[in-house]
Amino acid sequence: MNEQTTPGPRVAIVTGGSRGIGRAAAERLAADGCAVVVNYAENAAEADATAAAITAAGGQAVAFRADVADESAVAALFDLAEKTYGGVDVVVNAAGVMRLAPLASAALDELDRMLRTNVRGTFVVDQQAARRLRPGGAVINFSSSVLGLALPGYSAYAATKGAVEAVTLILARELRGRDITVNAVAPGPTATALFLDGKDEETVARMAGASPLERLGTPEDIAEAVSFLAGPARWVNGQVLRANGGIV
């Protein structure tokens, strides 16, 4: 009788995985059976806590520091995933920076910071994903529903997310024949530190009420969309999923 080897788990890299939507996505993918590499930029304690929570729940996870805009650091991130778990199947680009201001008064250094993380970071991570993902893999980038809402104060941030959508749609076509899907999730207002920072209660309440569901999204709501695109949604490709509770 021929001895059969049991294939290992699917392996996911989640950038910005130490908190907010990234952490929820990492925990959800682990619950789905993925081994997870939790990428972080600065807060080692939060990243370690995410990995520890996954491990405590019976999953596999390791934390790894890497600036997503640094090609050498991102290459090392993928090296670590391959060395630890044998390959990479899912990449979730949840790392992001948001600074709000009217265009006329926006600080250009803040624009540069968002471009570096949101655009260059997505591009660099996607580049490694395009080179290394195994057949059957999935790339999930992060856009924002603010592109359609066109809210004042969001011009710089929305510009970076427009670039992410362009990269997403083009990469999906460039990976023809590889059995790899490339999609983006575009959250609406979601109760994370990134969204809540600097907003007063009235603003938060108004934005929560904009959805027909009359609430803010939760990180777990967005993680559910990530889980769908990472696993069962093999016929969804080159799309932007607007996970926003019905805001138009």
- Show Cβ contacts of residue 239 under 8 Å, excluding neighbours closer than 6 positions: 183, 184
166 or 6: which leads in pLDDT? 166
- The string of pLDDT tens digits covering residues 59-97 is 999 999 999 999 999 999 999 999 999 999 999 999 999
- Active-site residue, selected from the candidate residues 40, 85, 154, 157: 157
Domains recognised in the chain with CATH numbers: 11-241 (3.40.50.720)
- Show Cβ contacts of residue 27 under 8 Å, excluding neighbours closer than 6 positions: 50, 53, 54, 57, 223
Return phi, psi of residue 58, to 5°: 100, 5
Q: Is the dihedral of CA 129, 166, 115, 243 positive or negative?
A: negative
Does 157 participate in catalysis according to the annotation? yes
Which pLDDT band holds residue 237 (cuts at 50, 70, 90)? very high
Pairing verdict, β 181-185 and 138-142: parallel
- The string of pLDDT tens digits covering residues 202-220 is 888 888 888 899 898 899 9
